[in-house]
Structure 1
Amino acid sequence: MDSEALVQLALNALSGTQKDLATKLNVSPAQISKWKKGEHMSQEMEQRLRAIANIGDQDAAFVLTAGSLEDAAKWERLMHYLAERAAESAETGYNTSPLTDEMELLCGETFRVLKEMGVSIPDKFPRALDLDYDDINDESWELLEQDPHSDAIYKIYKSLNDVYGFYAAYVSELVHDDDLDLSNTPADNIEPCLLSLAACKIEVNTQFAPRFAQFKYQVKKDYAEWLTFVKDRAFRAGVPLRAELLDLVYDSSDALGHTAEAESLGFNKSQLHPDIYMNELLVGMRMIHQVLPAIMKKLGIDQEFELDESKLRIG
């Protein structure tokens, strides 16, 4: 819940001051200020504010960014249409579940990502995008491609197909592996932030998204840390990696999609990442290090043996 957005919507609906809202809710003006700074509010107070703002169960931050409940509904229809169309074009063999929006998080997350990229959301829903999405033809689709907002959203959703496909094929099973005990760790961030990672992999006009470079740098940095954490846990637990997890960060969306598709078709069944072979080699070397001195002592050669390193070199 975004308490700041909810309070602002209630203030907008009342066309009044924080003192007016405080009086209506029978709380102090100071409490209104605390909520505007993000302080937690009770469920009862949240419902009262939602009633004043008249937004029902809608995402308060989404409605506030859209400018009105009516425009929020229009953005929602557009995003769900683009998500459906993107999902239909997926070729990874995996269902891009975030695009089905069963948790009703997609629209709010889309606005959040765009704003972090520096994109300005129009005060009013663009008239050119106010279409009948049940009857989209080539001409209306061209309008969607020409608008920078709908074009960027569609590209992000298309990228999410490939990013999510790789995640589903190689990362999800590790994140949910009980042996790795990754709950309440940095790994919890990996799945919820995939839309941000997908956005990093599209091409975008920097005038349209002026903070894109900083956004991309931070998201990739965070993911490198989160995935390295998972890799370390997997290494310590001896859990095999079937791909280099950091490819999720550094590979293009197309490359991720191809890798996920190959996995879904069974082409990578016997493939193990070199880290696993290195782990097996290290285990073997540790075993030799423990056992060899005992063998040499048993044979009585532990005092006289000298290693000739020249014979270890090739060529």
Structure 2
Amino acid sequence: MARIRTIKPEFFTSLTIADLTPEQRLTFIGLWTHVDDEGRCVDDARLIKAAVWPLDDRTAADVEGDLRALTESSLIARYTLTRKSYITVTGWSEHQRINRPTKSKYPAPDQGESAPAPVPTCGDDDSLNTHTQLSEDSPQERNREQGKEQGTGNRESSSVPAPRTPDPASDRDDVERLCQHLADRVEGNGSKRPAITKAWRTAARLLLDKDGRTEEQAHGCIDWCQDSDFWRSNVLSMPKLREKYDTLRLQATRPAPGSNVVPIGAAAGRPSTTDQRVAEGMTLAARLRAQEAAQ
């Protein structure tokens, strides 16, 4: 996968780079976009040719010649591990600053059967900075995402445990009341009382905060569900309640068989001023119709 990298102006005045052919230089630059965030990739000229020279007539053998020249210049290092060959860009961590780098799935050079050759100094200071060190100050790179499953390549253990992310819903009384209310209704409907899990508390918090439901509306919807046919084919959970809240409320507002009265307000699980005004209007209209019929 191609990645965005940067290049310093000093690249073009480096004596080490000047000893390379234009094709070898471009292969070196193309490698930066081909290697992962730790500067490593599989050592296969065919893959590199496809990534760096996809529309040119150059062959994998030509690219292999470029890689040999880059190795002789100590710009890259080639190493093997368990019969698999890899490439690393020399001094990658010193000259490329990656924001939120992804951990490499390939083994490090010091794990391989051959260590990378040292970077040549021989009076050419520019050769140490041939690939992109940011000149301006940059903030320290953030720690890699906690809890991300490690790959099978480089398994490093850390002595410092990852900090646990606090649950923002664990200490909220309204969330706890809502979860306990639903658990009581599930148990009262003949099912085994469910455990109040983190997923329940998270769903309750999102229902109240993100979805904009009031605690009274949520309690009303739970009470309606217990008295409806919904319980006969479903064991309601807090995540399912949040997912199906609008559907359940719509079912609650449907008129009963043989009736043209639509239950609203608290009976629908979501009372509002608008609902109350509509109810008053419907009541008044029914009263007027009754008076006209009596006359």
Q: TM-score, with normalisation over the residues of structure 2? A: 0.27
Whose helix proportion is higher, 1 or 2?
A: 1
**More RCO (CA 8 Å, sep 6+):** 1
- Between structure 1 and structure 2, the one with the greater Rg is 2
Whose strand proportion is higher, 1 or 2?
A: 2
